[in-house]
Amino acid sequence: MTDSRAQLVAALVDAGHELTGGDDDYAPLLDRIGDARIVLLGEASRGTHEFHEHRVRITKRLIEEHGFNAVAVDADWADSYRVNRWLHSGGRDRTAAAALQDFRAFPRWRWRNRELLAFIEWLKAHNDPIRDVRSRVGFYGLDFYGFHSAVEVALAYLDRVDAVGAMLARQRYGSFELFGDSLDSYGTSAALEVSERCEAQVVANLVDLRRRRDEFLRREGLVAHDAFFAAEQNVRAMKNGAEYYRALFHGRISSWNQRNHHLADTLDSLLGHLEWRMGRARVVVWAHNSLVGDARATEMVSLGRVNLGQVARERNQRDVFIVGFTTHTGTVAAAFGWNQLPIPMRMPPALEESWEAALHEAGAGQLLIDLRKARPGILGPSRLERAIGVIYRPENERHSHYFHAALADQFDAVIHCDETRELELLDPTVEPTLQPCPV
């Protein structure tokens, strides 16, 4: 081992705290989080059990001991809001499994897994004894991939409060029926300017909805405010999603930035809504490392890309705390290609020049690294970092699944799980439906 390598490993050990599965595992992390209103918890891969396990354990502590009142994930707003209704004893669902049924599009297994199922069952048990509904913990999606689900929810709201407006909205949203269930064709139609007209219809509906906001809210007080907020976020998701797919079709870097600004804007709207409703707002966000780790500390910056973590830090400064996750080897649930079924895949050991390999050499099975305690300069230089999405091609790993990052600037803390295993899927044999590809 070279002197510089030995110094790097020693710095990781000095800043580290071994995780043993005990009650005190996260005490140093919770102390560091302090009064932060937004805690972003990442994942190095979409289908890893240990990442979900740690996020669940940390989130429970934040809810029970530190007053966090919402969990936000990088999933569709409409699909996630069905879970939120169930947590607040609304809707027709009687079980957590039923509440997860709107997660139908590829990759449904990201959310339809036993780890998330157990967590929302716990959230329900936590909420039920709380008589003041305003104090119950919510579950929200920040993303906009699910166009058709968002349309259905928005129309259901308008059917209840404004029958004429619902009729007009149906005429406007009819534009999207040209594209069926696949929004790949929506992006393709940009060349024919058909999708521009559809976007204009969605924008018109958002304007109408906001114009009549006060009228709707006077009718039912708190219940109406929650319903209006949910409907407005659905229409925003449709508007921003339409712009995203058009940019994606043209191959623009701006499509990535549009999506991440939407994630950040939805998070800000959620914080504002919770503050109005409860007088306080503290939110835990679950998303991929590539979304929550500050883009300015990665090679994204050279491409002109931003991400949720960067924007959240810029807007909220000290109110944000970011935790990344890494692994050295093991198995992961992923698909070989788009719209294919997930299977367990073996991850080869991390590349020698990566952060993961250095963390492996630090010697602990599971290690919490407080990057704010790290010796200045030692963890500053950029190194390779592994990122696995819903699609994984191990044979092409260096090109497709590694990028350069300066760990101490990207995150505030990192949890390293040296050997990991795949998620436990609820329905691994169900054929996914075709939708555009997330990270």
Taking only the tens place, the pLDDT of each residue in 369-411 is 999 887 767 887 899 999 999 889 888 888 889 999 999 999 9
- Model pLDDT, residue 417: 98
The model's confidence at residue 162, banded by pLDDT at 50, 70 and 90, is: low
Rounded alpha-carbon distances, angstroms, from residue 362 to 7, 355, 357 = 11, 11, 9
Angstrom CA distances, 106 to 70, 109, 415, stand at 25, 8, 28
CA distances from 41 to 197, 215, 310 (A): 38, 38, 14
- Alpha-carbon distance of 105 to 134, in angstroms, equals 31
Residue 427's pLDDT band (cuts 50, 70, 90): confident
Q: Which of 320, 202, 216 is nearest to 268 (CA)?
A: 320
Q: Taking residues 249-266, what's their average pLDDT?
A: 77
Q: Give me the helix-helix angle, 222-249 and 254-278, nearest 10°.
A: 170
Q: Say whether pTM exceeds 0.85.
A: no
Interval 104-116 mean pLDDT: 89
Instruction: Answer whether residue 150 shows pLDDT above 60.
Output: no
Residue 145: the pLDDT is 64
Lowest mean pLDDT segment, chosen from 57-66, 134-143, 162-171, 339-348: 162-171
Give pLDDT, residue 245.
Answer: 57
Q: CA angle at residue 115 from 326 to 73, to 5 degrees?
A: 70
pLDDT, position 336: 85
Instruction: Choose between 106 and 94: higher pLDDT.
Output: 94
Using alpha carbons, select from 4, 37, 42 the residue that is nearest to residue 288: 42
Q: What is the pLDDT of residues 89-99, one digit of tens each?
A: 888 899 999 99
Listed range (76-80, 95-99, 288-292, 326-330) with the worst mean pLDDT: 76-80
What does the pLDDT average to over 136-154? 70
Q: Which of 207, 226, 225, 143 is nearest to 169 (CA)?
A: 207
Yes or no: say if 357 and 402 are a contact pair by the CB < 8 Å rule. no
pLDDT of residue 395: 87
Domain boundaries, the chain: 1-143+282-439, 146-264
Query: SS3 breakdown of the chain: % helix, strand, coil, rounded to 5?
Result: 55, 20, 30
Of the pLDDT bands very low, low, confident and very high (cuts 50, 70, 90), residue 434 is: very low
Place of tokens 């890309």: 305
Residues 6+ apart with CB under 8 A from 421: 48, 49, 50, 330, 331, 344
The band of 193, judged by pLDDT with boundaries at 50, 70 and 90, is very low
Among 234, 217, 218, residue whose Cα is nearest residue 143: 234
What is the C-alpha separation between 25 and 106, in angstroms, rounded? 35
- CA–CA distance, 79 with 152 (Å, rounded to integer): 11
Q: What is the percentage of the chain residues whose pLDDT exceeds 70?
A: 74
Residues 4-44 pLDDT 10s? 889 999 999 999 999 999 888 999 999 999 999 999 999 99
> For residue 422, what pLDDT band results from cuts at 50, 70 and 90?
very high
Which alpha helices (DSSP H) does 162-212 contain, by range? 163-173, 184-188, 194-211
Residue 159 has pLDDT above 90, yes or no: no
The CATH code of domain 1-143+282-439 reads: 3.40.1660.10
Whether pLDDT at 154 is above 70: no
Q: Using 50, 70 and 90 to split pLDDT, how confident is the model at 219?
A: low
**C-alpha–C-alpha distance, residues 150 and 96, integer Å:** 21
**Predicted local confidence at residue 4, as pLDDT:** 86
Band (pLDDT 50/70/90 cuts) for residue 253 is low
235 contact partners, CB below 8 Å, separation of at least 6: 150, 154, 202, 205, 206, 209
What is the DSSP pairing of strand 38-41 with strand 283-286? parallel
pLDDT value for 190: 42
Mean pLDDT in the chain? 81
pLDDT for residue 223 = 45
Contacts of 419 (CB under 8 A, 6+ apart): 327, 328, 329, 330, 365
pLDDT at 155: 56
